Structure 1
Amino acid sequence: MNLPTGGWKMPLTVHHHAWFPGRIAGGAALVVAPVVWFAGLLLRHLGFATADFTAEQLTRFDQQPFAAMGQMAAYAGNPALVTAGYACFAVGAILLCPAVITLARIVAARSPKLAYLGGTLLVLGLFSRLYWAGVDQTAFQLIGRLGLEQATQVVLDTYVETSYGPWRVPVTAAFGLYIGTFLLAIGALRSGTFGVGRFVLFLWAGTLWTGVLKESSLLKGVVSSAVLPLVLVPLGVQVLRDVVPELRVERSAGRGRPWSETRGRAADAVPLGTSSAGGAATTTHSPPGTGVVDAFAEPHTCCSPIIRSMSSAVASEDPGSAEYTSMVWWPSGSSMVSPRSTTPHFPTSTRRRSPHGSSRAARLCGRRASTRCRA
């Protein structure tokens, strides 16, 4: 495999406990997603409520087993407002995915099992709403091609099949919306992320209907979605301000190293040699974590645990050194070869010596040579 050469370097900063999607994206999703979600359901309600329907039409809509007829009639009478409502609803479902992931990340610090399972099911359930958003848009487009009456008849004739989806995947995933909301809410309550009030509001918002061309009523739609910003927006502000302890990312400084040095061939990048007469041999190593020390992790390689321990000990005292030299003690008569070579290497180190590496490595390996490093 051809590896890049030149000026590529490892990142200068190590981010411990880094998480996806991150503080900015996760906090912004918690703030924006519930607001857009609420706006979409409000516009859908206004699109139907402000349409010029007669009492006879409203009675006919109420007699239907599904709300599809009323929604298609509302689109025909007020297409811009209804389209805006359905579009905002779809955008809200998309933005709720990173918002739920961020919430689950916070909950997982103290209630991991409920957070993992609840967050996963809830995100999978949100994907089903995107499928239904596509079906809704297709039904609205049929009105311009076939007319309101014929398009409505086509939608009603195929309503069950289109709602369930192929292999009933969307309707099955929709169960994750309710189960995931319940589990994540329990986890948030147990972890202290939510109080009792926010716990109840979150559960109420998660009981919203699912399916194709559903009506957003005043109670089951507008009000139930209006409580979601009360639950998530304050948490999102805290995430953006970086005051949530569960999401703190610790940073440590390091020195970048060229890519060609850190990901080169193990046999060329890490020569290893000893003296056949025993005693000390000067060996040049690269810092741990670069893929070089791992080259000695062969199952039949003598003293590979000591090499790893020694390298970690040296790096802990001088983590900023790009290259360091250490002293390795081997029993008399032993030899060591590179994992990719059958010939022992006897390199002469010309690299700079770490102020801590040699003495610490010698002491460490010297203590263990009698018990773990045998010829």
Structure 2
Amino acid sequence: MDHAADDVVEDLVRRHAPQVLGALVRRYGHFDPAEDSVQEALIAAAEQWPRDGVPDNPRGWLIRVASRRLTDRLRSDEARRRREERAAALTPADAFVSPPPGEGAAGRSRAPAEDDTLTLLFLCCHPSLSPAAQIALTLRAVGGLTTAEIARAHLVPEATMAQRISRAKRAVRGTRFLRPDGRELDRRLGAVLQVLYLIFNEGYTASAGPDLHRTDLAREAIRLTRAVRRLLPREGRVTGLLALMLLTEARTPARTGPDGELIPLDEQDRALWDRTAIAEGTALAAEALALGPAGDYQLQAAIAALHDETERAEDTDWPQILALYDLLVRRTPDPAAALSRAVAVAMVHGPRAGLAEVDALAEAAGGHYRFDAVRAHLLERAGDMAAARTAYRAAADATLSEPEARYLRMRADEAER
């Protein structure tokens, strides 16, 4: 096969991985060995499909191979062997080709492949897990990333990440493989979307290391959010989050210069922005607002759309953006949203007004470098170059992102001239 065909195989394998794992966990209830068996099936597919061709039913092929590997594991232990026999006795003969239809928590019929993906996401984002564990387990089980890939993304040793993932699996062991419903669904969906957004943000602006952007993480977050939206197409939060990701990611081609240097939003060459992604994101943002009360993701998507639809930075509709931030900060105590609102205040009412808003957030910001970076920017706009230099340098010293640190030091040097 050529490289294009290899890419097709990789896409198929990654797309079907959570469905296959979900089918096995639902049927056998053993998360850890099921995940190992699915990984072995994925490796077998990556080796065989480029050579022999993609089977007519790739998901069925993966389920069949993974099930065989899992039953081999189960037979090695007497107690597990008995559970496997009971499961096999209750499973139709063709069940290893495609997952059997099941019933949801409320007794409704469901499409197993799609429902299993969403259920698996909820399992990986179980409230008993820390956010770091939720992210790692989601990337491993639903995203199909290897432990080494996840470790590299988080700048930790592979052994450390393997332990984190193992602990997360142990923590959810014995949890019923059912998608929550009603009020619990609403509560747990919030955790799922937060994890996906955290993954995206780490990909869009890496919190540490030499690279500003980690394409694999950002794209994986978008892919998983698309999967959730296919399952919950009428959920405004999901549609809003997908819109926000697309509108934000669309700016990536213009965010760095030829030497990898950071270029701020108001200085970017907007001709480089991905207009296809902007068109899709703008349409989704409008749809999300129409689906119900405006939540955090819908409001942030609407703000991103106002930025992306403007061809020149000086034509940005800052009064409308400020109005949306007013709504957002009334809904959430997030200091990051409040800092962004302070910038909008400065653009509408002047830098001194924005600085007053920033200074009021000093305690809530908790010494985060972005507080000093925003304050430095507004001080520079107000003409207080000495204070701007100090704030820029404080921000540069606090961030672990090398591109951001270089940019902040450059601004400090320019403010000194």
TM-score interval w.r.t. the shorter chain? under 0.3
User: Which has the higher Rg, Structure 1 or Structure 2?
Assistant: 1
**TM-score normalised over the length of structure 1:** 0.28
Choose between structure 1 and 2 for higher RCO, CA contacts under 8 A separated by at least 6 residues: 1
**TM-score normalised over the length of structure 2:** 0.26
